C-alpha cells in the first residue's frame, strides 16, 4: 500500500489516502518518488477549471525518484536508477502538435503526488547529476514547456532581446534560464518590486511591473523593442505586447492565465509582420534535447519553497495565491 493525495469530486479538496501501489505493465516502470513539484494546471484542476477532469485524481506532473520495479520488456539497467519523469503521454507522430490521445501525467493518469508512480519506461530519463532530487523533481514540465517555446517555436538566437511576462512563474523562470544560456538579453514583467529585484539578482537585464500603466513604455525605453516575447498571461496586456515587438518579431504564447485578449489589434500584427505562435509542453525529442541542453549549461531551476509530503495542501495554497518566485516542491521521501 502507499500514501497519495487524492482529489475527489465530492469534496474538491486534496485528502491524504492509502491506495494500492500501481501495478505496472510490460513496458512500464514503478518509481519510488523522492520529490514532486506543482504546476499551475494542478491548481486549475482543484478549482474545476480544466478540461475533461476525471475523479478521483492523483495530481502531479513533475517528479524525480528511483526505479524500484520494471516491466518484462524494460532493460534491467533501469533498476535502481535515479530518474526524472517526462510528463507528456501519447504525443503521437506529428512533431508539430500533439495527437488527440495526448495527456499530461497526473489526471487522468495517476500523478506524482504519491509515494509511488508508474509510467511507461520511455518517459524516464537519468537525473542530471548536477541537480538534487528536489531540483530534478521541479524542472521537467516547466523546462520542457519553456524549451519548446523558446527554442523550437520562437527560435531565440544569441543577441536577441527577449521579454518574458510574469517572471515569478515556474515556466517563465525556465524560459529565462534557457534564453540567457542561448546568449539572449532577457527582460521581464512581474507583479512586485521584490520579484523584479530577485530577477535582477539572477542576471536578468531589466523589466517592469505589469500592473502599472506605463510598463510597456518603460521597457521600450530600455530596449527599443523585443525580437521575441514569451507570454503566458494573455488578457488586455497582449495588445501592448504587439506594440513592443520589433517588426518581423515573434510572440510565443504558452498560456492564458489572465484570459481572453479584448479587441486584438490585427492591423498592427499584419503591418508589422509579426509571428504569433502557440506552444504546448513538448514531445519526447523536445524532452531529450532540453535535458541535454540543461546538462551542457548546468541549468538549475529556481526553487521557491520545499514542503513536506504531509503539507502538500499548503503548497497548493501558496501557488493559488501566486506568492511564489520559482517552483514549489513537495519532498515525498528523504
Ligand atoms: N501550454 C503549456 O504546455 C503550458 C505548460 C505549463 C503552463 N502553462 C500555462 O502557463 C501559465 C503559467 O504556468 P506556470 O505553471 O508557470 O504557473 P505559475 O508558476 O503559477 O506562474 C503563473 C505566473 O503568472 C504570472 N501572472 C499573473 N498575472 C499576470 C499578468 N497580468 N501578466 C503577466 N503575468 C501574470 C505571475 O507572475 P509574477 O509572479 O511574476 O507576477 C505568476 O507567477 C498558466 O496559465 C499555465 O496553465 C501552459
The per-residue pLDDT for 12 is 76
d(CA 176, ligand 1 centre) in Å? 13
Cis peptide bond N-terminal to 115, omega within 30: no
For atom 13 of ligand 1, which residue has the closest CA? 40
Whether 226 contacts 250, CB under 8 Å: no
Atom of ligand 1 nearest to the CA of 40: 15
The per-residue pLDDT for 10 is 82
State how far the Cα of 61 lies from the Cα of 24, in Å rounded to an integer: 18
Span 83-96, pLDDT tens digits: 999 999 999 999 99
d(CA 129, ligand 1 centre) in Å? 28
Is residue 225 predicted with pLDDT exceeding 80? yes
Ligand 1 pocket mutation, candidates 105, 252, 253, 255, criterion most atoms within 8 A of CB:
255
For atom 9 of ligand 1, which residue has the closest CA? 255
Can you read off the three cell numbers belonging to residue 242? 504587439
By CB atoms closer than 10 A (0-12, 13-18, 19+), residue 220 is middle
Ligand 1 pocket mutation, candidates 45, 171, 198, 290, criterion most atoms within 8 A of CB:
171
DSSP tag of 173 = H
Query: What residues does each domain of the chain span?
Result: 2-139+301-331, 144-278
Same fold, 2-139+301-331 and 144-278: yes
The per-residue pLDDT for 129 is 98
State how far the Cα of 235 lies from the Cα of 275, in Å rounded to an integer: 18
Give rounded-to-5 percent helix, strand, coil for the chain.
Answer: 30, 30, 40
Give CA angle at 78 (75, 84), nearest 5°: 130
The per-residue pLDDT for 42 is 96
CA of residue 64 relative to chain centroid, distance: 15
In this prediction, residue 187 has a pLDDT band, given cuts at 50, 70 and 90, of very high
d(CA 123, ligand 1 centre) in Å? 25
Weakest mean pLDDT among 25-34, 49-58, 293-302: 49-58
In this prediction, residue 287 has a pLDDT band, given cuts at 50, 70 and 90, of very high
For the chain, the C-alpha Rg in angstroms (whole number) is: 20
The per-residue pLDDT for 81 is 98
State how far the Cα of 35 lies from the Cα of 266, in Å rounded to an integer: 44
d(CA 209, ligand 1 centre) in Å? 15
Dihedrals phi, psi of 202, to nearest 5 degrees: -80, -10
The CATH label, of 3.90.180.10, 3.40.50.1220, 3.90.550.10, 3.50.50.60, for the domain at 144-278 is: 3.90.180.10
Whether 232 is in the pocket of ligand 1, judged by its Cβ within 6 Å, is: yes
State how far the Cα of 155 lies from the Cα of 117, in Å rounded to an integer: 34
The per-residue pLDDT for 89 is 98
CA of residue 321 relative to chain centroid, distance: 17
Residues 6+ apart with CB under 8 A from 77: none
In this prediction, residue 270 has a pLDDT band, given cuts at 50, 70 and 90, of very high
The per-residue pLDDT for 291 is 98
State how far the Cα of 209 lies from the Cα of 36, in Å rounded to an integer: 30
Span 40-83, pLDDT tens digits: 999 999 999 999 999 999 999 999 999 999 999 999 999 999 99
Is residue 13 predicted with pLDDT exceeding 90? no
The per-residue pLDDT for 69 is 98
SS3 assignment, position 245: strand
Is residue 100 predicted with pLDDT exceeding 90? yes
d(CA 232, ligand 1 centre) in Å? 6
Residues 6+ apart with CB under 8 A from 223: 161, 163, 185, 187, 206
The reported pTM is 0.97
Q: Assign domain 2-139+301-331 to its CATH superfamily.
A: Medium-chain alcohol dehydrogenases, catalytic domain (3.90.180.10)
Over the chain, what is the mean pLDDT? 97
Whether 233 contacts 257, CB under 8 Å: yes
In this prediction, residue 142 has a pLDDT band, given cuts at 50, 70 and 90, of very high
The per-residue pLDDT for 65 is 98
CA of residue 115 relative to chain centroid, distance: 22
Amino acid at each position: 500500500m502507499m500514501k497519495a493525495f487524492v482529489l475527489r469530486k465530492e469534496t474538491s479538496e486534496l485528502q491524504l489516502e492509502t491506495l494500492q501501489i500501481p501495478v505496472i505493465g510490460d513496458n512500464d516502470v514503478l518509481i519510488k518518488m523522492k520529490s514532486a513539484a506543482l504546476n499551475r494546471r494542478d491548481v486549475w484542476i482543484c478549482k474545476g477549471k480544466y478540461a475533461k477532469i476525471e475523479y478521483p485524481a492523483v495530481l502531479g506532473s513533475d517528479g524525480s525518484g528511483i526505479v524500484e520495479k520494471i516491466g518484462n520488456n524494460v532493460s534491467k539497467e533501469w533498476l535502481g536508477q535515479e530518474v526524472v519523469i517526462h510528463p507528456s503521454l501519447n504525443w503521437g507522430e506529428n512533431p508539430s502538435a500533439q495527437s488527440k490521445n495526448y495527456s499530461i501525467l497526473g489526471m487522468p493518469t495517476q500523478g506524482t503526488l504519491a509515494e509511488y508512480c508508474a509510467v511507461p519506461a520511455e518517459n524516464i530519463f537519468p537525473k542530471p547529476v548536477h541537480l538534487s532530487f528536489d531540483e530534478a523533481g521541479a524542472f521537467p514540465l516547466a523546462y520542457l514547456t519553456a524549451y519548446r517555446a523558446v527554442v523550437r517555436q520562437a527560435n531565440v538566437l544569441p543577441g536577441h532581446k527577449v521579454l518574458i511576462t510574469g517572471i515569478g512563474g515556474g515556466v517563465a523562470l525556465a524560459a529565462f534560464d534557457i534564453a540567457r544560456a542561448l546568449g539572449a538579453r532577457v527582460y521581464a514583467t512581474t507583479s512586485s518590486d521584490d520579484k523584479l529585484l530577485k530577477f535582477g539578482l539572477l542576471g536578468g537585464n531589466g523589466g517592469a511591473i505589469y500592473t502599472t500603466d506605463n510598463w510597456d513604455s518603460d521597457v521600450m525605453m530600455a530596449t527599443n523593442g523585443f525580437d521575441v516575447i514569451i507570454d503566458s498571461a494573455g488578457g488586455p496586456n497582449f495588445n501592448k505586447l504587439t506594440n513592443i515587438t520589433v517588426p518581423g518579431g515573434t510572440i510565443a504564447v504558452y498560456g492564458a492565465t489572465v484570459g481572453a485578449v479584448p479587441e486584438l489589434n490585427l492591423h498592427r500584427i499584419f503591418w508589422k509582420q509579426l509571428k504569433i505562435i502557440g506552444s504546448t509542453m513538448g514531445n519526447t525529442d523536445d524532452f531529450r534535447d532540453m535535458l541535454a541542453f540543461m546538462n551542457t549549461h548546468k541549468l538549475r531551476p529556481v526553487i521557491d519553497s520545499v514542503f513536506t509530503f504531509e503539507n502538500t495542501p499548503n503548497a497548493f495554497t501558496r501557488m493559488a495565491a501566486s506568492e511564489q518566485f520559482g517552483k514549489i516542491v513537495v519532498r515525498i521521501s528523504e
